[in-house]
Structure 1
Amino acid sequence: MQKYYAEIFGTFILLFSGAGAIVTNQVSNGTVTHVGIALVFGLVVTAVIYAIGEISGAHINPAVTIAFWVSGRFPGKFVLPYIVCQVIGALAACLLLKVIFPGLNNYGMTLPAGSDMQSLILEGVL
């Protein structure tokens, strides 16, 4: 059970810190900068790996969990519980950011600059 709590905690910390840096950058008119946001994500991932790595493996992302499972390095019976815990942690972080910053419209989302079709093609190709 401890590994599930660790995944909730780790994912929460990653999303709250990383998305929080993006939102803070948005509301402060760019004072955090893209470099600052990248540093937050990188340093938080490093800290989370050190904090919970020995407990749960510090997947903190469903894509990582699935990749470990597909490569045969993670038992299939733990995939769904890990993903559920990661979603719980992510939702909790996002909800807390919504409470802290109630008046925002997009919470740092990347919005397409062109049409929907143009964005679909560019995202698919790149």
Structure 2
Amino acid sequence: MRRLAAEFVGTFWLVFGGCGSAVLAAGFPQFGIGFVGVSLAFGLSVLTMAYAVGGISGGHFNPAVSLGLAIAGRFEWRDVIPYWITQVIAGLCAAGILYVIASGAPNFSAGGFASNGYGDLSPGKYSMTAALVAETVLTAAFLIIILGSTSRAAPAGFAPIAIGLGLTLIHLISIPVTNTSVNPARSTAVAFFATTGAPGQLWLFWVAPLLGAAIGAAIYRFVLSPGESPGQIGREPK
């Protein structure tokens, strides 16, 4: 329960901080932070909570990360579903509180509410294929960053910085394409508060990140560092 509580706190902060920056601050008149600021907010939310609670839960905050770590041999399969449930509930709680705050502004309109989408719901009107490819490739890269920066060969203590900066870069690349998911819990959290039909496209933002996570984890485990990953959950490398 302590691990799940830590995962709840971390995922809550990621959704509240990242999506909150998009909903409350990105387009604020005269002082809006824009998509660069939103990208930094997502990266900083992961970086700060990775240091704060990562030592307790592993700092996943993302169902795709939990799946990828299990495939890489860094996480027990029996814990995947409890982590997924916790992450989704935490995201929904964060989005609900964010909605209460945002709706306190005059002339409030939920609109997209930082949700993800393709076609008409894509910031740049990118196609479903473009969104699927982008989310898959970027999530695969994210898993490689996570696995590599937390490996025994990496400098100790710097993994949250690499992961946070990696997520920032991912957002800088893909906000125009899908508004950036690479995280099914983040996508689910805000989709049901949007008024644009985002829930109808939510399937892609589960399928693509989970597929990408599996690809990234397999590349790291079997190509980049064969035999290392299984040894990091209490067993000797095969």
Shorter chain as normaliser: what TM range? 0.7 to 0.9
- Cα displacement string for residues 40-78 of structure 1 (whole angstroms, at most 9, x for unaligned residues): 111111110000111000000000000001111111111
Give 1:2 deviation, angstroms. Answer: 0.4
Give the percent of matched residue pairs that are identical in Structure 1 and Structure 2: 37
Structure with higher RCO (Cα < 8 A, 6+ apart): 1
Provide the aligned C-alpha RMSD in A: 1.8
Letter in 1 for 2:52: A
CA distance in structure 2 between the partners assigned to 1:46 and 1:53 by the alignment = 10
1:105 aligns with 2:111: yes
- Cα displacement string for residues 72-106 of structure 1 (whole angstroms, at most 9, x for unaligned residues): 11111111101111011101011111111123222
The equivalent residue for 1:62 is: 63
Taking structure 2 as the reference length, the TM-score comes to 0.48
Gaps of at least 5 residues in structure 1 are none
Q: More helix per residue: 1 or 2?
A: 1
> CA contact under 8 A between 2:10 and 2:59: conserved in structure 1?
yes
> CA contact under 8 A between 1:24 and 1:32: conserved in structure 2?
no
> CA contact under 8 A between 2:14 and 2:46: conserved in structure 1?
yes
CA distance in structure 2 between the partners assigned to 1:32 and 1:50 by the alignment = 25
Gaps of at least 5 residues in structure 2 are 135-238
SS of aligned partner of 1:24: helix
Taking structure 1 as the reference length, the TM-score comes to 0.87
Aligned pair count reads 123
> CA contact under 8 A between 1:52 and 1:58: conserved in structure 2?
yes
The equivalent residue for 2:15 is: 15
The equivalent residue for 1:38 is: 39
CA distance in structure 1 between the partners assigned to 2:36 and 2:111 by the alignment = 23
